[in-house]
Amino acid sequence: MRCIDSLIISHTVAAAEYFGPQAKLPKSSETWIHLAQKTLRQVEPQTNQSCGGGLFWYRTRSDPDRGSYKALITNSEFISVAARGYLITKDKNALEYAKTIIEWVIGTSSGLADVKTGRLQDGLKATKESCTITPDEWSYNYGQWLGSLAWMHRATEDQKYLDMASPFFYRSLKVFAPSGVIAELCEPDSCKRDPKGFKAIYVRNLVYLHQETNDQALKKDIQNVIDTSVKAMVKTSCDADFNCAAAWAAGRPPEKNVRSQHVSAALLVSAVGIHRPPAKAGRGN
C-alpha cells in the first residue's frame, strides 16, 4: 500500500476542523482527529536513513520498483496533516517530526527541494548504494509543499516557513502557468489518468498560502493566476450547465467526465476561497 493513500487522511483533519475535535465518523465511536493521529503514527516508521531519512512512498520494502521510493508528495502530506492536527490536539510529537522532514526535504541528503531556485523533484529511489532522483515536475508537488509550509507557519508562528514558500511559488508559475493560465506539463494530450487531477491539489493549496502569507505581492500573484485560469476556463471550456474541460490553457471544449469536473470545481472553489475567505481560525481553535 502506498503511504500517500493513507495520508489522504488529511480529509479527516478537515472534518475535525469543520465539525470539531469531538466529532465522530458516521456509525462509529472513532473521532475524525483520532483517526488522523493514528494514521500519522502508522506512517512515521516508514523510513530509514538511506539518503538521510524521509518517508517512503510504499510500505512494502521488498517491492523492487516501489519499495525504495521516497516521494516528495508523501512527505509533504505528512507535514500538512501533522501541522493541522497540532492546531487541534497540541500534539508536539508529530509536529516536531514534520520539522525534521522539512529539513530533510530542503537538505543536501535528499536534494528534493532547492530553496534558492524553487525547484522541486518528484522523489528519489533510496538504496544503500545510491540516491537516484526522479526529476519530474508536477503541479501537485508544488501545491502540497506550499500548503504544508503555510500550515507549518500557522502551527508554529515561525516566519521562516512563509519566507521559504516564495521561490517555490514563483518557480511553479514559470513551469505551470507561463501564459497566466495553469496547465500541467503533459497537457493537453499526454496526461495519463492521475496527472489530470493534480491541478486540483495545486490550486487548493495556493489558497492556504494566500490566506496565511503576509506578503501582499505574493497574495496578488496567487489571486492573479487563479482569476486568470477561471476566466480562461469559463471563456472556452464550460457549457451553460458548467460542464467544464480541465485543459484550460489549451482552450479545450466542455467535457462531462468526472475528473474534468473535479479539477474545474476545485478551481472555482479556490477562487471563492480567495475572494470570499472564511474567518481565519485561531491557532489551536
Residues 149-160: tens digit of each pLDDT: 999 999 999 999
* pLDDT beyond 60 at 117: yes
Nearest-angstrom CA–CA distance, 55 and 70:
6
- How many folded domains does the chain comprise? 2
Mean pLDDT along residues 60-65:
83
Q: Indicate whether 252 pLDDT > 80.
A: yes
- How high is the pLDDT of residue 284? 39
How does pLDDT run across 30-48, given as a tens digit for each residue? Answer: 999 999 999 899 999 999 9
On whether both 50 and 163 belong to a single domain, the answer is no
Residue length, the chain? 285
C-beta pairs of 194-200 under 8 Å, 24+ apart in sequence? 195/138, 196/246, 196/259, 196/260, 196/263, 197/259, 197/262, 197/263, 198/138, 198/139, 198/140, 198/143, 199/139, 199/140, 199/246, 199/263, 199/266, 199/267, 200/262, 200/263, 200/266, 200/267
Average pLDDT, integer, range 110-127: 97
Whether 285 and 212 share a structural domain: yes
- The chain-wide mean pLDDT, for the chain, equals 93
Cell 518517508 maps to which residue?
A: 55
Domain that holds residue 34: 1-136
Is it the case that residue 63 has pLDDT exceeding 90?
Answer: no
Q: Considering the entire predicted model, what is its pTM?
A: 0.94
Query: Looking at residues 90-100, what average pLDDT do you find?
Result: 96
Greatest mean pLDDT among 65-74, 221-230, 237-246: 221-230
Per-residue pLDDT tens digits for 188-218: 999 998 899 999 999 999 999 999 999 999 9
Domain's final residue, options 136, 170, 190:
136
Q: Helices (DSSP H) in the chain: which residue ranges?
A: 3-6, 10-19, 32-43, 72-89, 92-106, 139-156, 160-176, 198-212, 216-236, 258-275
Q: What CATH number has the domain bearing residue 4?
A: 1.50.10.20
DSSP assignment of 254-273, as one string?
Answer: P---HHHHHHHHHHHHHHHH
Reported confidence tier of residue 169, pLDDT bands at 50, 70, 90: very high
216 & 105 share domain: no
Residue 6: the pLDDT is: 46
Do residue 81 and residue 208 come from a single domain? no
pLDDT of residue 267: 98
Are 209 and 283 part of one and the same domain? yes
Is residue 91 pLDDT above 80, yes or no?
yes
pLDDT over threshold 60, residue 5: no
Examine residue 124 and state whether it is found in any structural domain, yes or no. yes
Domain presence at residue 146 = no
pLDDT at 7 over 60: no
pLDDT at 18 over 60: yes
Q: How far is Cα 271 from Cα 25, in angstroms, rounded to an integer? A: 29
> Do 94 and 164 fall within a single domain?
no
pLDDT at residue 128, rounded to an integer: 85
**Among the three residues 76, 104, 136, which one is the final residue of a domain in this structure?**
136
The whole-number pLDDT of residue 60 equals 84
